[in-house]
Amino acid sequence: MIIFAYPLVFFAIVIPFIYRMLLPPIKGMHGDALEVPRPFMNAVNKISAKSGKGVAANLDNKTENKLKFTLLYFIWALILCSTARPQIVGEPIQIRSYSREILLVVDISTSMLEPDFKIDNKRSDRLTVVKKTISDFIKKRTDDKIGLIFFGTNAYLQSPITYDKKSLEEILYAVDAGMAGNSTAIGDALGLALKTLRKGEDLEKKVIILLTDGENNDGSINLAEAIDLAGKEGIKVYTIGVGTDGALIQSMFGFNIKVGSSGLDEKSLKEIAEATKGTYFKASDTKSLEKVYDTIDNMEPSANEDIYIQEVKELYYIPLSAALLFALILVLWTRRYKR
C-alpha cells in the first residue's frame, strides 16, 4: 500500500496559479519596444524565409509559453510529491517487546550440600537440584536478560545482566557450595542485587529472585536495612526458602531421619517479598522447587504481544528524480530557442 507521510503538502499545488493570477505580467526592462517600420520588417522576414528560419517556422510565442508553464507546473507537482514522502507500507507484523531483566541471587553456603532433595528418585543435595531447576528456568526465558549472584559469607556478581544464556549455564554449573564462605549474608546479597539493577530506567521491568536455605547470620548489611532498602528501590523481589523442616541424617540402620529445625528464616523472607510487592515461596522438595520457578515464569511474562511494526520503503527519490529530469529538459528547450 502506497501512502504519503505528509499529505498536507499537496495544498501548495495551487501556489503557481495564485501567483500567476495575482501578480501583473512582467514588462521589458527598458519599457515598450520601439516600433519597427513595416518595410524593414518585411525585408527581415524575406531573408529569414530564404534561410528556412522564418517567423512562421517558429512556435507561436503564446503556445510556447503555455507549454513551458505546463512543464513548470508539472515539475512543481513532482517536487511536492517528493516532499510529501511517498512510502510503501507493508502488512502489520506482530512482535514481542523484550523487557525483563532478571537477577538470580543464589545461596551457595555449605548448608546447600544437605542431601534432602531427589533427582530421578535418587537422593541429591539442595544445590544440585537448584542448579538444574535454575538452568531449566533460564532456558525458558529465551528473550530476557538474566544475571547471576552467588552468596555465602560474601556476595559476588558472577554474571552481569546478559542475553548470553550459554555462559550463564556454564557459570551456574561451575559453582560449588562453600566457594563464597560457609555462613549466609542475605543482606549483602540483596544489597548487591539492588545496586546492580538500579542502573538505568524501567525498574518495574526488573526482577530479583533470591533463593536461600538459611538465615542472615553474616555480612555488613543487616536484614532490617536490606528490607528497608529493597522497599525504597521499587524493584520486585521474589524470595524462595529451600529445605525440609529439619536436617536429614542417616542412622546406622540405613534409615533417613529428620532432626532439629531447618534454620530457614521464613519470616524475614516474607518481609522482603512484601516490602517489594513480590511473593515468598517455600520449596521443600524438587517438585515444589520446580513449581515455584514455573509460577514465577507465569507471573513475569517476558513479552508484550500487543506491539506491531510495519515495514516502510521510501519512494521520495522517484518523483524527485523525475522533477530534475524535466527541469533539465526545460533548460535545454529554453536555451535552444534563445539561439
pLDDT tens column, 34-51: 444 455 445 445 544 554
How far apart (Å, rounded) are the C-alpha atoms in residues 76 and 9? 12
Specify whether 194 is located in the same domain as 164. Answer: yes
Q: Determine whether 268 is exposed, middle or buried from the number of CB atoms within 10 Å of its CB (0-12, 13-18, 19+).
A: buried
Query: Structural domain of residue 319, as residue ranges?
Result: 2-91+310-338
Q: pLDDT at position 29, please?
A: 44
Looking from the CA of 285 toward its CB, the CA atoms found within 13 Å total: 7
Question: Has residue 23 been placed in a domain?
Answer: yes
Specify whether 113 is located in the same domain as 244. Answer: yes
Specify whether 105 is located in the same domain as 61. Answer: no
Question: Has residue 186 been placed in a domain?
Answer: yes
Question: Has residue 249 been placed in a domain?
Answer: yes
- Percent helix, percent strand, percent coil in the chain, to nearest 5: 45, 20, 35
How far apart (Å, rounded) are the C-alpha atoms in residues 326 and 77? 12
217 band by pLDDT with thresholds 50, 70 and 90: confident
Specify whether 111 is located in the same domain as 242. Answer: yes
Q: pLDDT at position 65, please?
A: 75
Q: pLDDT at position 44, please?
A: 44
Question: Has residue 216 been placed in a domain?
Answer: yes
More confidently predicted of 2 and 93: 2
Specify whether 115 is located in the same domain as 251. Answer: yes
Specify whether 71 is located in the same domain as 119. Answer: no
Specify whether 23 is located in the same domain as 136. Answer: no
Most confident of 172-176, 263-267, 305-309: 172-176
pLDDT at 146 over 90: yes
Question: Has residue 142 been placed in a domain?
Answer: yes
Specify whether 172 is located in the same domain as 258. Answer: yes
Tell me the whole-structure pTM to 2 decimals. Answer: 0.60
Please tell me the total number of residues recorded for the chain in this structure: 339
Specify whether 324 is located in the same domain as 219. Answer: no
Indicate the number of domains in the chain: 2
Which CATH number does the domain housing residue 131 bear?
Answer: 3.40.50.410
Q: pLDDT at position 304, please?
A: 55
Q: pLDDT at position 56, please?
A: 43
Q: pLDDT at position 135, please?
A: 94
Using one digit for the tens of pLDDT, what is the confidence trace for 254-267? Answer: 545 544 445 788 99
Specify whether 6 is located in the same domain as 68. Answer: yes
Specify whether 81 is located in the same domain as 126. Answer: no
Question: Has residue 96 been placed in a domain?
Answer: no
Question: Has residue 331 been placed in a domain?
Answer: yes
Question: Has residue 304 been placed in a domain?
Answer: no
Specify whether 239 is located in the same domain as 143. Answer: yes
Mean pLDDT of 90-104: 76
How far apart (Å, rounded) are the C-alpha atoms in residues 21 and 5? 30
Please, which residues bridge with residue 117 across strands? Answer: 124
pLDDT at 33 over 50: no
